[in-house]
Amino acid sequence: MKPGIVWIFSCMMLCLASASIQAQDAPYPSRRIQYILPSPAGGPNDFVARLFAERLGKSMGQPIIVENRPGGSWTIGTEYVTRQPADGYTLLHVSGTHILNPSFFPKLPYDPIKDFDPVTQAVGMTFMLTVHAGLGVANIGEFIARARANPGKLTYGTVGVGSSHHLGAELFSSMTGIRMLHIPYKGGPQITAALLSREIDSTFISLFPVRKLVLAGELRGLGLTTLHRSPLLPNVPTIAEAAGLPGYEMDVWQGLVVRAGTPRPIITRLYREIGTVLKNPQDVARITELGLDPVGSTPEQFHEMMKTDMARWAKVIKEAGIKAAE
């Protein structure tokens, strides 16, 4: 190789090395961030994801783009994130489905705990055992009595096998010794319509789509799945207190994770930024209107909660013999 060409080649390599070092030293974030939501647009998950993307984009000085990648019970979007670099530029919005999937899909292409680093449990979501007003039951005790007197005849609607609606009902049935008939629907709006038309007797559903109907007297809320009452419906007791089931709890949640191996300073930055959103009075008001509770747990707390939830619900799913829909 001629000396002149060698000199030019050496300069090019030095420039590339310098650019690489500068890229590594660039403050985070220095470019756009993907925010992956493995569910369709619309609904509480989409609302929370877009709220965080908007707020973090402004505070961190870079655009954060929400990308809905639904399908496969959240597995398609989740697997996509495992193929991205662990650099904080691909965020993954998760829900309880994230830790339920191993119970339904033994051959998942990823491990929901080991392949991701937790950032924060952002919010919790309150579900409620809801019936149509004409069912003739005034409280949860009467509902249980009706179910015991008519085994397998009272119906409940869900958005599918393994959903929070389904697991809430299965846990309730196992703890009370009742049997009900499962009727799956495509989504929450279809469940609400079926309940209003008396096509089904009951459902375990989030407060948002049914709260106004309960206040109007068209539907009746019998009990909440959380351990605390909701300010949105303060007169509705928890299932644990109303049914005398101190162990009953279904805490539906949403959170944020990143690819395992993401630098800790990046995780800390994201955790703090989301914490700021969850302390903003205006944002908190928007979140609570959907029946959501701001949480903002630490990465360590979120990690332990996911492990605990995965083991707990795996036991419920196994004992109930619940299988993934074909």
Supply the pTM of this predicted model. 0.82
Q: Where are the domains of the chain?
A: 32-124+251-320, 127-225
Q: What is the CATH number of domain 127-225?
A: 3.40.190.10
Q: Is the pLDDT of residue 6 over 50?
A: no
pLDDT of residue 16: 46
User: What's the pLDDT tens digit per position in 140-198?
Assistant: 999 999 999 999 999 999 988 888 899 999 999 999 999 999 999 887 889 999 999 99
Q: Evaluate whether 32-124+251-320 and 127-225 have a shared fold.
A: yes
Confidence of residue 321 (pLDDT cuts 50, 70, 90): confident
pLDDT value of position 23: 43
DSSP string, 244-297: T-TT----EEEEEEEETT--HHHHHHHHHHHHHHTT-HHHHHHHHTTTEEE---
Span 17-39, pLDDT tens digits:
444 444 446 799 999 999 999 98
Over the stretch 89-117, which tens digit does the pLDDT of each residue have?
Answer: 999 999 999 999 999 888 999 999 999 99
For 71, phi then psi, to 5°, come to 125, 150
Q: What pLDDT score was predicted for residue 316?
A: 87
Residues 6+ apart with CB under 8 A from 14: none
**What 3-state class would DSSP assign to 88?**
coil
pLDDT of residue 326: 46
* Domain 32-124+251-320, second-level architecture: 3-Layer(aba) Sandwich (3.40)
